Amino acid sequence: MEPDETLALFDQEMREHARPDGPGTRVERVGDVVRQTGGADDWNGVVWTAPDLSPCRAESEIAAQVEHFAAHGIAEFEWKLYAHDGPEGLGGLLAAAGFEPEPPETLLVARVEDLATTSELPEGVRLRDVTDAEGVELMVRAHELAFGTDGSRLRHQTLARLTDAPDTFIAVVAMAGDEPVSSARMEMHPGTGFAGLWGGGTTAPWRGRGIYRALIAHRAGIAARLGHRFLQVDATDQSAPILGRLGFTALSTTTPYVYRTAP
């Protein structure tokens, strides 16, 4: 498939017809948007906007989503704005309504059949599948050390997926002895050809040694065995060049616009 065809398929299967990304969340199309609503520790936000959305209707939709999430007591939600979304100036309308843009990420997609499924780990490093609460704690610790952010929400979401939807979720942590040094996740989306790669953060002393590449290959091998056609990543500036060398193609960029009702 050509990149524009793959992007159109991604928009259709993963955004317009998005599935809930975890237990306790619901996805619905209302007016010109598709949104997900869950609890305080779930991902809440808008994943798709109608291609023919006009500036006037956009302002109404923005106000409606702010009202919706406030009514559900959600202190923070996200509007995922892709570079190819309309109308022109939607980011400005979101900012004017109180949304704060976070650093943009690159949407990359690869055909699973084009990816390597094996890669060497540094000496002394092994991969451990995350299947229980102990594994979740190791994964959260690696995440916090790698990204410098609180892992409470990640802990909640991972435990929920392992308990209620284990067949749609894979998590793995790289261990150097007894110390977690990197972690990664893969979310499967039944009914689509896509699986999403998330995480992949490595602690500073272990960066540049091939762990990130090995985690990509490990998950690509699982995706191949499960029959997925595509892997999708929202990549930072650090990981996008690595993914490009591994066979991923940049299709668009996405900027999270975050609305917070509490400090």
Same domain, yes or no, for 60 and 163? no
d(CA 6, CA 29): 22
Co-location of 117 and 94 in the same domain: no
Same domain, 134 and 98: no
Please tell me the distance from the alpha carbon of residue 226 to that of residue 223, in angstroms, as a whole number.
5
Same domain, 95 and 116: no
pTM: 0.92
CATH number, domain of 157, equals 3.40.630.30
Please state the domain count of the chain: 2
Residues 90, 128 share a domain: no
Looking at the structure, do residues 32 and 50 belong to the same domain, yes or no? yes
Residues 137 and 165 in one domain: yes
Tell me which long-range contacts 73-76 makes (C-beta under 8 A, separation of at least 24): 73/40, 74/37, 74/40, 74/44, 74/261, 75/40, 75/260, 75/261, 75/262, 76/44, 76/258, 76/259, 76/260, 76/261, 76/262
Domain with 69 in it: 3-106+254-260
Same-domain status, 49 and 70:
yes
Whether residues 245 and 120 share a domain: the answer is yes
Considering the domain architecture, whether residues 153 and 99 belong to the same structural domain is answered as: no
Q: What is the pLDDT along the chain (263 residues), one digit of tens a residue?
A: 799 999 999 999 999 999 998 888 999 999 999 999 999 989 999 999 999 999 999 999 999 999 999 999 999 999 999 999 999 999 999 999 999 999 999 999 999 999 999 999 999 999 999 999 999 999 999 999 999 999 999 999 999 989 888 888 999 999 999 999 999 999 998 889 999 999 989 999 999 999 999 999 999 999 999 999 999 999 999 899 999 999 999 999 999 999 998 65
